[in-house]
Structure 1
Amino acid sequence: MLDRIAESLFWIGRYTERAENHARLLDVNYHLREDAEGDSEKTWRRITEAIGDCASYEERHEAYSEREVLHFLTLDATQSNSILTCVALARDNLKKIREQLPAELWNLLNGYYLWLKTVQVDEIMQMSPHRFFQRLKEGLAAFQGTAVSIAPRDESWHMLESGRYLERSENVIRLLQSISRIAPGQPKASYSYTIALLKSAGGFEAFRRLDPEDITLEDVARFLVLQETFPRSIHFSLAGFEQHLKAMRGHADQTGTSLERMIRLAGKARSELGWLDRGDITFDSLSGVLQQLLHTNIQLGEAVARTFFSPGREVMA
Structure 2
Amino acid sequence: MLDRIAESLFWIGRYAERAENHARLIDVHYHVREDSSGEDAVLWRRMAESIADPAAYEERYSEYREKDVLYYLALDATQPNSLMTCVVQARDNLKKIRERLPSELWNLLNGFYLWLRKVGVEEVLAEPHRFFERVKEGLASFQGTAVSIALRDESWHMIESGRYLERSENIVRLLRTVSAAVAERGGSSYSYLLAVLRSVGGYEAYRRLGIEELSLEDVASFLLLQESFPRSVHYALAAFETNVKAMRAKADKSGTSLDKIIRMAGKARSELSWLERQDITADSVDAVIKQLLGANRQLGDAMARTFFSPGGREVIA
Q: Identify the TM-score tier after normalising by the shorter chain.
A: over 0.9
My pick for the range that moved more, 249-258 or 74-83, is 249-258
Contact 2:168–2:237 (8 Å) recurs in 1: yes
1:272 and 1:171 map into 2 onto residues whose CA distance is 19
SS at match of 1:213: coil
TM-score (norm 2): 0.96
Aligned partners of 1:255 and 1:308 also within 8 Å: no
What is the identity, as a one-letter code, of the residue corresponding to 1:17? E
Deviation per CA, 1:256-290: give whole Å up to 9, x if none: 51001111111111111101111111111111111
CA-CA distance at 1:254 after TM superposition: 8.0
Paired residues for 1:8-87 under 5 Å: 8-36=8-36, 38-87=38-87
* Aligned residue number for residue 241 of structure 1: 240
Partners of 2:50 and 2:36 lie apart in 1 by: 15
Structure 2 regions of 5+ residues with no counterpart? none
Q: Is the counterpart of residue 101 in structure 1 residue 101 in structure 2?
A: yes
Shift of 1:188: 5.8
C-alpha distance in structure 2 between counterparts of 1:185 and 1:244, whole Å: 39
The separation in 2 between residues aligned to 1:264 and 1:36, in whole angstroms, is 44
Cα RMSD (Å): 1.6
In the superposition, relative to structure 1, how do residues 315 and 43 fare at CA in structure 2: closer, same or farther (>3 Å)?
closer
> How far has the Cα of 1:42 moved from its partner?
1.7
Q: Which amino acid in the other structure matches residue 10 of structure 1?
A: F
Query: Alignment partner of 1:184: what SS?
Result: helix
Name the SS for the 2:118 alignment partner: coil
Q: Verify the 8 A CA contact 1:249 1:256 in the aligned structure 2.
A: no
SS in 2 for 1:231: coil
- Contact in 1 for aligned 2:26/2:47 (Cα 8 Å): yes
Do 2:248 and 2:254's aligned partners in 1 also have CA atoms closer than 8 Å?
no
Greater shift in the superposed pair: 282-291 or 239-248: 282-291
* Structure 1 partner of 2:280: 281
Shift in alpha-carbon separation, 1:256–1:79, aligned structure 2, 3 A: farther
Moved more, 279-288 or 236-245: 279-288
Deviates most, 34-43 or 12-21: 34-43
Partner of 2:217: 218
Preserved CA contact (<8 Å) 2:88 2:113:
yes
Structure 1 CA distance for aligned equivalents of residues 295 and 32 of structure 2 = 29
Query: 1:190-201, aligned counterparts within 5 Å?
Result: 190-201=189-200
Worse-matched range after superposition: 4-13 or 48-57: 48-57
| Mapped partners of 2:118, 2:255: distance in 1 | 45
Distance in 2 separating the partners of 1:52 and 1:73? 7
TM-score, scaled relative to structure 1 = 0.96
Contact 1:48–1:73 (CA<8 Å) still a contact in 2? yes
Greater displacement, 33-42 / 140-149: 33-42
Distance of 1:124 and 1:245 partners within structure 2:
38
| Cα distance between partner residues in 2 of 1:263 and 1:212 | 33
Counterpart of 1:171 in structure 2 is: 170
Q: Offset at 1:40? A: 1.5
Aligned-pair identity (%):
65
Deviation at 1:252, TM superposition (A): 3.2
Residue 154 (structure 1) shift: 0.2
Distance 2:43 2:222 in 1: 27
What is the deviation of 1:309? 0.7
Q: Which runs of 5+ in 1 are unaligned?
A: none
For residues 228-250 of structure 1, give each alpha carbon's deviation from its aligned partner in whole angstroms, at most 9, with x where no partner exists: 00000000000000000000113
Match of 2:298 in 1: 299
Range with bigger deviation, 113-122 or 35-44: 35-44
Q: How does 1:153-164 map to 2 (within 5 A)?
A: 153-164=152-163
* 1:105-154, Cα deviation, whole Å (9 max, x unpaired): 0000000001101100001112x101110110010000000000000000
Contact 2:14 2:165 in 1 (8 A): yes
Q: Secondary structure, in 3 states, of the residue corresponding to 1:182?
A: helix
* 4-13 vs 306-315, greater mean Cα deviation: 306-315
Q: Which amino acid aligns with 1:96?
A: K
Distance 2:10 2:75 in 1: 23
1:253: Cα distance to partner? 7.3
Q: Deviation at 1:189?
A: 5.9
What SS does the aligned partner of 1:164 have? helix
Counterparts of 1:179 and 1:37 in 2: how far apart (Å)? 18
